[in-house]
Structure 1
Amino acid sequence: MIWNVPNILTVIRLAAAPGVAIMFLFFARPWADWFALVLFVTAAITDWFDGWYAREFNQESRFGAMLDPIADKAMVVIALLVITGFSGMNPWILLPATVILFREVFVSGLREFLGNTAGLLKVTKLAKWKTTAQMIAIAVLFSTGIFEHHFAERVFGMDEASIGAILSGGLPDDLGLGRLLWWRDATFFAGVVLLWLAAALTAATGWDYFAKARPHLADKPT
């Protein structure tokens, strides 16, 4: 392998993937959500940058072509597992996450089975849009946890009557509770919509790859 800038960034992105989950082992929320969000967004930016750098400065390599999609899948899969777990297995998140995970496993299996002919399953423009939609959806859903737990911090020790009075306008909202709840709900709704969009694109690209592979899956006549 060649240790050029794109390959180094790809290796760093691959190493960052489990770091998203590890944040929740060593830090309390919402700090864990903040660190996971920053780590995930930074890794996602390097995904765009290393591809651009490799093309612009002619540093594309077989190692990078192999590792880049693996790093992307590791980031998405681990982040989805974290978000699904902390959402309490919310079906609005669980179902599109299942579609995404199933497609990634299915296409990886196709590529492994095809062996030398796996080159026909090249990454398409639609697949790149799929990855972009996945990463944006995940980043937005990480921010939901930030607003939710900042709200929990500010109401700690308050009774329900006081919280209700503040949210209904009976008491001044000096802590910004209404704003935090609005952002929590807005980011959750936007994140779920984006995740379902990503799942639809994911399913479409999975079907496209399967259609391209079908001629190579047929048994030869005996």
Structure 2
Amino acid sequence: MNRNPLFLVPNIITIARIAAIVPIAALVMSGDTNARAVALFLYIAAAVSDWVDGYLARAWNQYSDLGRMLDPIADKMLVAILIAVLAWDRSLTGLDMIPAIAILFRETFIPGLREFLGNKTVVLPVTRLAKWKTTIQLVALAVILAVPLIPGLTLVASLVLWVAGIITLWTGWQYLRASWPHLSGIGK
């Protein structure tokens, strides 16, 4: 039986994560503290759904090419759009923009690198640290979202964002180093 991948539960969850980005961004941009609390709740649900969809795909053997494509896109969209919104509403300080930009750079560069290498039939497998990188990014953004709601979180939010930025750059370097023979012509 060939099932439509749109109706597989893990893919529905991933699509819902993508759809949640719009109300999360709108709620944060409203500037209202209560709206931000709702945005934080929706964001945490969206972030946790990243684990849930993967768990269900494995548990129920509901893998699909659509899911393999959409899941990392959903993660990157959630992170990138929330960084843009948090920069817009000045939740990110000037120094916080350094790891934020590093995250945006890596999350754009590495998928482009993968696409380029895919045309050469070179596969860069996702590392365990890269999976943790996504989790740390999601946690960092949740803490930054919570800063106006929970006094005293500012330093913690900045520290977690810097850790996320450093790990993000490190995993980007690992992928670039692994792909270098194919980029330099050595691996031909």
Normalised TM-score (structure 1) = 0.76
1:45-89 CA deviation, whole Å, 9 max, x = no partner?
A: 111011011111111111111110000000001111112222265
Does residue 69 of the first structure (1) align with residue 47 of the second (2)?
Answer: no
Aligned-pair CA distance for 1:135: 0.7
Matches within 5 A, 1:186-201: 187-201=153-167
Contact 1:14/1:74 (<8 A) preserved: yes
Comparing 5-14 with 89-98, which one deviates more in the overlay? 89-98
In 2, the alpha carbon distance for the partners of 1:58 and 1:111 equals: 25
Q: Which structure is larger by alpha-carbon Rg, 1 or 2?
A: 1
Contact 2:14/2:49 (<8 A) preserved: yes
Aligned-pair CA distance for 1:192: 0.8
**Paired residue for 1:81?**
84
- Which of 141, 144, 158 is equivalent to 2:144? 141
Matches within 5 A, 1:119-158: 120-146=123-149
In 1, the alpha carbon distance for the partners of 2:46 and 2:106 equals: 22
Match of 1:50, SS state, is helix
In 2, the alpha carbon distance for the partners of 1:10 and 1:119 equals: 26
1:9-46 CA deviation, whole Å, 9 max, x = no partner?
A: 00111111233212245x44102211211111000111
Comparing 72-81 with 110-119, which one deviates more in the overlay? 110-119
**Paired residue for 2:14?**
10
Contact 2:47/2:138 (<8 A) preserved: yes
Residue segments in structure 1 that go unaligned for 5+ positions in a row: 147-182
Does residue 22 of the first structure (1) align with residue 26 of the second (2)?
Answer: yes
Instruction: Please give the root-mean-square deviation of Cα atoms over the aligned residues, in Å.
Output: 1.8
**Paired residue for 1:90?**
93
Aligned residues: 182
| Compared CA separation, residues 191 and 10, structure 1 to 2 (3 A) | same
Match of 1:217, SS state, is helix
**Paired residue for 1:204?**
170
In 1, the alpha carbon distance for the partners of 2:53 and 2:39 equals: 21
In 2, the alpha carbon distance for the partners of 1:29 and 1:140 equals: 17
Counterpart code for 1:204: W
Aligned-pair CA distance for 1:120: 2.0
**Paired residue for 1:34?**
37
**Paired residue for 1:184?**
151
Match of 1:184, SS state, is coil
In 2, the alpha carbon distance for the partners of 1:121 and 1:14 equals: 25
Aligned-pair CA distance for 1:91: 2.1
In 1, the alpha carbon distance for the partners of 2:142 and 2:107 equals: 19
1:81-132 CA deviation, whole Å, 9 max, x = no partner?
A: 1122222651231111011001111112212222344662222110111111
Normalised TM-score (structure 2) = 0.89
